[in-house]
Chain A
Amino acid sequence: MNMIDVEDISIGMSLPMLVLPPISRHTLAVYCGASGDHNPIHVDIDFAKEFGLDDVIAHGMLVMSYLGRMLTSWAPPKMLKSFESRFLKMTHVGDIITVKGKVVNKLLVNNKWVIDLDLEARDQSGEVKLSGNASIVLI
């Protein structure tokens, strides 16, 4: 079980990053069914073309879920208090996503340690797809 100790957390430190396998059509199809987000723009190339795209695009929430994986493999889910993402660029089939996080603040609030994190997801060329942040409370 992952336990984290406040003594081990310092401002500027990085979370263990996560490098995902390339996004495939299969990844998107499985996520479509499992997430309940059946917007055809993610799985139906004909639909995507009708709306001016060259191909289907990944669900932003799929990429955000990778950030979530990184977060809760570092701190248990019950410690997570807030989590947000801005979806800056579309993620395409074939993209290799890397998610990273770092500690930007560490504050004692009402006798509990609150840790603020900056998060990002980039593709293989370094383009930032998602930028976000999260707060955890050590309990």
Chain B
Amino acid sequence: MSENKDFRDELVGYKSPTFEVEVEKGRLRQFCHAIGESASIYNNEVEAKRAGYRSIPVPPTFLFCLEMERDDPYDWFKELSIPLGNILHGEQSFKYHDIVCVGDRIRFSGEVVDAYDKKGGALHFIVHRNFVFFDTGVLAAEFDRTIVVQSRE
């Protein structure tokens, strides 16, 4: 990632490997435990159904975690020569079109949609967008992860 233009051209349009996963109850329970989420709709299927969900819904940031279920969640960092220790998470945004619940099979399709420099090239920003589809093909959500790569001069 040397010159600004090369850096952009190299990254924008890069597609990360498509990935499919089933939303598992146990996996979700572990996540809720880790963040201290004890609300009944996230922990009890009966309560979730009573509240109008087909099963336990996922908390708002959980899709980000499911996307990391791949064999190597950093595969595309390696492919793009982004060193793991030099990156920071700059921004994260989610758009929700429909709620994802336990038992759903979802597919992630990701690509780098933007890349730019700040501070005279000392910081590279890379925006990676994921589209999340149900197995029916319907779009459930999309989310952007902006990572900041610090130049090591």
Q: Give me the interface of A with B, judged by CB distance under 8 Å.
A: 1, 20-21, 27, 30-31, 33-41, 47-48, 50-51, 59-62, 64-66, 68-69, 71-73, 76-78, 80-87, 90
Contact = CB atoms under 8 A, between A and B. Distances in A.
Interface of chain A: mostly helix, strand, loop or mixed:
helix
Contact of B94 (A21, A34, A39, A84): A84
Contact of A77 (B60, B65, B84): B60
Given A65-B35, A87-B88, A36 B60 contact: no
A49 B47 CA distance: 45
Contacts of A85: 91-93
B120 interface: no
A36 B65 contact: yes
Interface stretch (B3-11, B26-34, B107-115): B26-34
B92 A87 contact: yes
Given A36-B66, A36-B73, A66-B35, 15 more contacts: A33-B34, A34-B34, A34-B35, A34-B65, A36-B69, A60-B89, A64-B92, A69-B35, A77-B57, A80-B60, A80-B96, A82-B93, A84-B94, A87-B88, A87-B90
A78 B57 CA distance: 8
9 contacts: A30-B33, A40-B84, A61-B64, A68-B60, A68-B61, A69-B37, A69-B39, A84-B94, A87-B88
Interface string B46-67: 0100111100011111001110
Contacts of B35: 31, 34, 62, 65-66, 68-69
Contacts of A69: 35-37, 39, 59
A59 B52 CA distance: 32
Nearest to B53: A78
A61 B57 contact: no
A92 B122 CA distance: 24
Nearest to A81: B96
B39 A73 contact: yes
A82 B94 contact: yes
